[in-house]
A and B are shown apart, each in its own frame.
Chain A
Amino acid sequence: MGGNIPMKLKLTSIVLSAVMAAGPALADLVMPMLSYRTGAYAVNGIPFADGYNDYLTLMNERDGGVGGVKIDIQECETGYNTEKGVECYEALKGTGALVFAPLSTGITYQLIPKATADGIPVHSMGYGRTSAKNGKVFSNIFNFPANYWDGASIAIKHIMDLEGGDIKGKKITLLYHNSGYGKEPIRTLEELAKKHGFTYTGIAVDHPGQEQKSQWLQIRQNKPDYVLMWGWGVMNQVAIQEAANVRYPMDRFIGIWWSASENDTVPAGDGAHGYKGLALHNSGLDIPIYADLKTHVVDKGLAAGAGDQLGTVLYSRGMYNAFLLVEAIKTAQSLSGVAQITPAQMRDGMEALNITEDSMAAAGLPGFAPPFSVTCENHGGPGLGMVSQWDANAQKWNIITGLIASDMDVIQPLIDADSAAFAVENNIAPSCG
């Protein structure tokens, strides 16, 4: 029996070492990534996760981390499933996680009270609860640089530009994923319909959206002047194919930024030519950062995926998300005077974030997206977007407009009302600082 003790000690040591190696080192900046590389939405989740991971890996490999502290990427598979996303949060929150980027509106909604209570910031970039823009109520939730209500307003403004400023009497249909995400823009569109005099109609598509014949027959019969789409995953590909089938004019079919990637348009072939989508940022390989990514990440075999997604819209978005959070870390380090920041300091860094042309250029992303700053009153950024259009011949998205600002006269009252209701429900006294 005595002879077994050293063996037990050895085994215990091995197990402990393995646990320590698997877990984050205490001196790292822990960055969780709630990704989905499996399931019905993996097609879109993979490039985003690759871009996010590769940018953070680049920081480690090229710059030795941020402020001299290495980043520890903790990826957790959610399968775009809200319950799994919450499990990931619970599993990772104790690791010193600085900020969560859930990549799901459903998960974001669940994390709002939890993360707020735990003092951990959540960044839902271009998704999530729109009224989280009001930082006086949602102290730990950030949704910069734009949200769904901005998206709805930007799409309507683009339509107004096309129609010479008058869309009174026009018929605009929203084809939406029948989920919290898909329903987000409805309220804004109803308000915008009142303001501009167009007729709004919503058509829901159930998960996953593989079969949309009824919806597109309705569209064919109703003949709306424009169709907006809030889709995700296979819903996008089928919708674009069905639009081509019923010969709906593609330049009158506009998707939110989550319905406007190469994955959505390529399967429909030439039929997708001219389809439009909103854009939060540029994409493509013609950006200086890719030289560094190739040298320090891809060529070293450290790329998160196969390296075949570089430059795509969703890879670019994941990379942009990581860039914004790295800049927030830098801001937090600068504010606190320490390199090893806490989640609370990260929150402060996100609230003081100032993205400038210079900071983007320094990161190898010159002109990639609009500059903006975050404040306590505005966790949602400037709400700017562009319109891009798919060129099936060149197999690429082209930005076809300048930056379009959302209609805050309509959106701000909605944000105020929704956030005020949340504050009452949760006994929150809105305040800054």
Chain B
Amino acid sequence: MPDKFLFAMEVMLNGLMAGVLYSLVALGFVLIFKASGIFNYAQGVMALFAALTLVGIKDGQIPFAHLINAIFGTNIHHFGWHLPAFVAIIFTVIVMIGFAWLVQRFIFRHLVNQEPIILFMATIGLAYFLEGVGDLMWGSDIKKLDVGIPKGMNETIELLTYNRFGYGFFIDNLDIFATFLAVILVTVLVGFSQYTKQGRALRAVADDHQAALSVGISLGYIWVLVWSIAGVVALVAGTVWGAKSGVQFSLSLIALKALPVLMLGGFTSIPGAIVGGLIIGVGEKLFEFLVGPMIGGATENWFAYVLALVFLVFRPQGLFGERIIERV
């Protein structure tokens, strides 16, 4: 088989894997938009904050240590423990639930019935606030995240493809792990949405706030619930991406990778986030591989948006989004 074809296959497979990583971020956006109509600008920063909290708790870092030291002249930094990853994850989930409650209690409770643009603006403010609090709480130095996620080339796939094609494909173990995580996450989310009382309440709120309220569904409770779930999804995304690059401010920029996925998959569809991610991942990787070298490379950032735009022209609601028809 010609080398070029095999290379393209390898690139395509890696594009699929990268797409899953993008989908993990996009899922958080979809959940909140679906339940409340809010485009959560803070989703990327939530991923950063969750990952920072996970590392901080795991390594026994004292929150706000720099601030405490500056005010009281102390020199405290760590509690002196190193928790198992599983325990640290549980504590981080609790923190993200607490964060969801705070967001609902102090921001969105006061913005019920406001225009979507106001709610969007509120999430911009939330993003910058959370960014600052995250820095203040855990410091802005780069942190190594080691929660046991496998990394490096998968030797089985390399061997199998070598035996079959005479060329061993590279697939990162971390990407395979992320794919499994995404499958589990989507299964749980769809199951929760379809088969639980809370899930049905969530869908009812998404359909019609007023009608949901009239049958006794608590809007506040549902919003805390959905922001908590989005917080957990942010933790998953932050952990996977943080394992690649270390936990640092740039993690918040992974949201930029999710936007074309949302444009393509639709803002209200969980399967759309997955399929959109896969299309963007494969599209941008193949374009970079086939066309990039001819035009100077570094095409991925902009090509993802071009691809999403093309889809938008033909399906403005995205591939799986709900079509909005307003009749006069």
Contact = CB atoms under 8 A, between A and B. Distances in A.
B9 to A, nearest CB: 11
B292 A214 contact: yes
A233 interface: yes
A305 to B, nearest CB: 8
Nearest to A203: B297
A213 B10 CA distance: 11
Interface in A38-57: 38-40, 42-43, 46
* Most central of B139, B142, B246, B285 by chain A CB within 10 Å: B142
Interface in B1-44: 3, 7, 10-11, 14-15, 17-18, 21
How extensive is the interface on chain B, given as a class?
35 or more
B144 interface: yes
A40 B253 contact: yes
B140 interface: yes
A118 to B, nearest CB: 32
A217 B11 contact: yes
B66 interface: yes
A190 B18 CA distance: 33
Contacts of B59: none
A218 B289 contact: yes
B250 A269 contact: no
B14 A213 contact: yes
Contact of B142 (A211, A237, A241): A237
The interface size bin for chain A is: 35 or more
For the residues of B in contact with A, the DSSP-based class is helix
Contacts of A204: 296-298
A52 to B, nearest CB: 17
Contact of B14 (A207, A217, A238, A266): A217
Q: Which of the listed residues B144, B151, B244, B296 has the most CB atoms from chain A within 10 Å of its own CB?
A: B244
Given A40-B253, A43-B140, A244 B289 contact: no
A213 B18 contact: yes
Nearest to B69: A306
A208 B142 contact: no
Interface string A68-79: 000000000000
Contacts of A211: 18, 21, 257, 300
Nearest to B131: A38
Nearest to B171: A245
A204 B152 CA distance: 23
B140 A38 contact: yes
Interface string B123-146: 000000000000100011110111
A122 interface: no
Interface string A234-259: 10011001001111000000000000
B91 interface: no
B94 interface: no
B301 interface: yes
B254 interface: yes
A37 B248 contact: no
B99 interface: no
Interface in B149-185: 151-153, 170, 172
B244 A241 contact: yes
Contacts of B172: 213, 245
Q: Which of B3, B18, B248, B250 has the most CB of A within 10 A?
A: B250
B187 interface: no
A95 interface: no
Nearest to B253: A208
Contact of B11 (A39, A207, A214): A214
Given A210-B254, A211-B18, A43 B11 contact: no
A218 to B, nearest CB: 7
B241 to A, nearest CB: 7
Interface of B: 3, 7, 10-11, 14-15, 17-18, 21, 66, 69, 73, 77, 135, 139-142, 144-146, 151-153, 170, 172, 241, 244-246, 248-251, 253-254, 257, 284-285, 288-289, 292-293, 296-298, 300-301
Interface of A: 37-40, 42-43, 46, 178, 202-208, 210-211, 213-215, 217-218, 220-221, 233-234, 237-238, 241, 244-247, 263, 266-267, 269, 271, 301, 306, 308-309
Q: Lowest 10 A-B CB distances belong to which pairs? A: A267-B246, A204-B298, A234-B250, A214-B288, A204-B297, A178-B298, A206-B298, A43-B142, A206-B301, A40-B250
14 contacts: A40-B250, A203-B297, A204-B296, A205-B298, A206-B298, A210-B253, A211-B21, A213-B14, A213-B285, A217-B289, A218-B293, A234-B248, A267-B144, A306-B77
